[in-house]
Amino acid sequence: MKPVRFRYEAPHTVEEAVDHLSAAGIGGKALAGGQSLVPMMNFRLARPSVLVDLNGIAALRGITVAENHVELGALVRHQAVADSERLRHALPVLARTASLIGHWGIRTRGTVGGSVVHADPSAEWPAVLAALGAELELVGPSGTRRVPAGEFILGPLTTAIETDEILARIYIPRAPAPLRCTIEEMARRPGDFALAGSVAVHAGQEIRWTFFGLGGPPETVAVAQADRQDEAALRQQLTERVAALEVTGDMHGGAEWRRRVAVAVALRAWRQIA
């Protein structure tokens, strides 16, 4: 099928984009990489009356590696993250995350910001950004606010963003020492959405796992580091923690099976950073 008719706006500044979205009200939609929105428009699951194309806004681009943080413009493409030498040194988990997303021809267009705002429960970026304690900078008609990534996702395809707000930049804190952190997932084929995935962060006294692909927003569990030599005990602990999470089954597998996969990928991640 084909999209319904819409008015197309291609602003050059964030302020203009916000003005267009405010004026359009409920019918307005921002367009970033189009890798989630355009399929929905092609099938008429999304029928915006005004489409505000963000791709011409220079202020939404750019990767900055500073001493204490990494800053990504919302429009940074997945492939640019995967290819960035600077990011590979600063925070290698970002490149690994990007390379898990879809396929080359998806990653060349799809953006980090679009993935977070789309908030697919199986998407990698919301979980990784929550696990790393990232902050999202939102710009709206009344100014700029920052929201922790872990509080931004409210549910499947639902976030704290207002219809007239733009996600402008993403700030990811960076420890002075290299962070022991990785992401693992299980998908039916490489590039498919994850059936279950986990981001593991070695956080000093404890290890934290942020799970995605279980049906809801990313959820984090922590286990004290003292247990880490004993994999059987850890598996038991993780199984108990994952049992308490809300998990939805679908045509690819039931909730119980997904919980087992979640524990398996969590352990796989842990073996790399323990």
Binding site for ligand FAD (CB under 6 A): 29-37, 39, 54, 74, 101-102, 106, 110-111, 113-115, 117-118, 120, 123-124, 161, 166-167, 193
Closest distance between another protein and the C-beta of residue 56, in Å? 9
Q: Which does 114 bind (CB under 5 to 8 A by kind): ligand FAD, another protein, none?
A: ligand FAD
Instruction: Closer to another protein by CB, 143 or 190: give it.
Output: 190
Coil, strand or helix at 231:
helix
Tell me how far apart the alpha carbons of residues 202 and 271 are, in angstroms, rounded to a whole number. Answer: 11
The tokens for 24 are 């359009």
Q: Which does 157 bind (CB under 5 to 8 A by kind): another protein, ligand FAD, none?
A: none
Closest distance between another protein and the C-beta of residue 108, in Å? 4
Instruction: Closer to ligand FAD by CB, 29 or 96: give it.
Output: 29
Tell me how far apart the alpha carbons of residues 199 and 132 are, in angstroms, rounded to a whole number. Answer: 9
Count other Cβ atoms within 10 Å, centred on residue 228.
16
Closest distance between another protein and the C-beta of residue 64, in Å? 23
Coil, strand or helix at 225:
helix
Tell me how far apart the alpha carbons of residues 120 and 213 are, in angstroms, rounded to a whole number. Answer: 8
Q: Which does 8 bind (CB under 5 to 8 A by kind): another protein, ligand FAD, none?
A: another protein
Instruction: Closer to another protein by CB, 108 or 163: give it.
Output: 108
Q: Which does 4 bind (CB under 5 to 8 A by kind): another protein, ligand FAD, none?
A: another protein
Q: Which does 105 bind (CB under 5 to 8 A by kind): ligand FAD, another protein, none?
A: another protein
Q: Which does 1 bind (CB under 5 to 8 A by kind): another protein, ligand FAD, none?
A: another protein
Closest distance between another protein and the C-beta of residue 109, in Å? 5
Give the residues lining the site for another protein (CB under 8 A): 1-8, 10, 24-25, 27, 34-35, 38-39, 42-43, 49-51, 53, 55, 79, 102-106, 108-109, 189-191
Give the position of tokens 């922790």: 148
Q: Are 234 and 241 in contact (CB under 8 A)?
A: no
Q: Which does 43 bind (CB under 5 to 8 A by kind): another protein, ligand FAD, none?
A: another protein
Instruction: Closer to another protein by CB, 5 or 232: give it.
Output: 5
Contacts of 274 (CB under 8 A, 6+ apart): 202, 207, 228
CA 138 to chain centre: 15
Which secondary-structure segment (H or E) carries 236? helix 231-243
CA of 151: how far to CAs of 52, 126, 134, 239, in Å?
A: 26, 10, 10, 25
When computed from its CA atoms, the radius of gyration of the chain, rounded to whole angstroms, is 19
